[in-house]
């Protein structure tokens, strides 16, 4: 994606909403400067989470692995 228009932003917003409803995450891999700037300006980066925007495929895969790791359960202290 070299450029991002309002329609593209709307599509990403819709995709992120659908994924969140299914308890899934969206990870962006290596977005170019202009789309990244547009996402930032629209507030999308804050909703997505900056940790879900990765520079390359390897870091994207590592982020996916992090998301798939089981969460630590804190024992109930009663």
- Residue partners of 23: CB distance under 8 A and separation at least 6: none
pLDDT for residue 12 is more than 70: yes
Cβ atoms of 26 and 52 within 8 Å: the answer is yes
Give the start-to-end residue ranges of the domains of the chain: 6-68
Whether the pTM exceeds 0.85: the reply is no
pLDDT tens column, 20-70: 999 999 999 999 998 899 999 999 999 999 999 999 999 999 999 999 998
CATH number of the 6-68 domain = 3.30.750.24
H/E stretch holding 53 reads: strand 53-54
The two three-digit tokens of residue 69, written as one number: 């790791």
């Amino acid at each position: 994606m070299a450029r991002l228009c309002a329609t593209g932003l709307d599509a990403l917003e819709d995709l992120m909403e659908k994924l969140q409803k299914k308890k899934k995450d969206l990870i962006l891999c290596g977005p170019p400067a202009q789309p990244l700037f547009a996402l930032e300006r629209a507030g999308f980066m804050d909703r997505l989470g900056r940790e879900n925007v990765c520079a390359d495929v390897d870091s994207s895969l590592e982020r996916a692995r992090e998301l798939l790791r089981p969460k630590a359960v804190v024992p109930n202290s009663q």
